[in-house]
Amino acid sequence: MASDLITDTTDANFDKDVITSDVPVLVDFWATWCGPCRAIAPVLEVMAGEYKGRLAICKVDVDHNQAIAGRFGVRNIPTLLLFKGGEVVGQRVGALNRKALDEFVSTAL
């Protein structure tokens, strides 16, 4: 479900895509059957273009990547984790609107 601007990351490549990133990373833990996850997907797509070069956006399908979801204690989706310098600097659960997403990511930029 990712695009040219959003990276589908997995248990195998999460550290490369997120932990060692030179820019802050917003990680969306989601699943195909999750309505709120599908609702925020277009907003994240727009944000990925607008924040290109300053913020990376990755998606983790929790049905196929349970190890990474467990590593970060993801129990509900959508869960959005914000990473900076390889560390979690923020977490939000639920479908946020664009204003709330912008405010959330601004803390890491």
- Catalytic positions: 34, 37
Beta sheet of 56-61, edge-to-edge order: 6-8, 56-61, 25-30, 79-84, 87-93
Name every residue whose Cβ is closer than 8 Å to that of residue 83 and which is 6 or more positions away in sequence. 18, 19, 21, 24, 25, 26, 27, 89, 108
